[in-house]
Structure formats: C-alpha cells, structure tokens
Amino acid sequence: MNTMTINSSKAPIPSQPLAHCNPEVEQRVQQWLAGRQLLVWIPIISQENFPGVPPQVLQFADQHQEAMRWPIHRPEDLLALPDGITGWLLPADAKDTDVACGIWNGEIYILSVQDKRTGHKQTLLGERFDIATGQADDPEQSVV
C-alpha cells in the first residue's frame, strides 16, 4: 500500500509523506481538504478490519455500507475515526474512490488500496467481494 500520514499534533494539519507515498493520491486529498469539500469516510467491511466478526454479519453490514458514511467537515474530523479500521475516503458528492483512510496510534494514513495477491488497484465500487462465499465480482481480483 502507498501511504501518507497527516501529522495530528499541529493545526492546520500538514502532511508528511512517507517513503512510498503515491504523490497523486496525496495531492488529491490535500486539494479536497484545502478546498473545504465535505468528505465522507466509509468503513471497509472485511475480516481484516473486523477480525472475529462472523462472515454473515459482515455480509449484512456490507449491504448497508452506504448508510455508514461518516462526515468529514474539516481535516481535524479525521482524528475522530475509529483507530485501526480502514475506510474509503471521498468527496460527499462522489460515487467512487480509490482512496482509503485509517488512523493508527494517532496518525492518519491516506492509502491507495491494492489487492494483496494480485496487485490490482481497488476502488469503493470497482470490486465487490462476498464475505460469506469468498467470491469477488471480478474473478481475477480478490479481497484486500
């Protein structure tokens, strides 16, 4: 994964690129934040994000993913995300995104999501994965 961290100890929140940061993703998120666009964060429903949760519960939650939009009005709102859970980040009026976001130990990471096995880029709408059956819409791709 390509990552970028946003230093949470200063206001406004400046970015500090990490070693393998995708500059295009970083620039896009910085433009969203600088433009004061309303953003939303949607948790990625997966066993990796929610270990120990039964597959049928994850499948149910995934069907209601749209209702789980967490509004991000300003950069500081990212600090209120649940620790250790990756979610999709996008402008509120957008339909799809290839940007994910998570907070770990007080640091915000902006991620470009790729399938761990195939290396294919993933998006919010680009691949649907059935938790219960283990099947993806695109047979050449699999879950994060």
Q: Find the DSSP H helices in the chain.
A: 23-34, 55-63
- Coil, helix or strand for 78? helix
Which is nearest to 108 in space by CA: 117, 99, 116?
A: 99
Average confidence score pLDDT of the chain: 76
Better-predicted residue by pLDDT, 34 or 26: 34
| Range of lowest pLDDT (15-19, 22-26, 102-106, 140-144) | 140-144
| pLDDT value, residue 19 | 40
pTM: 0.71
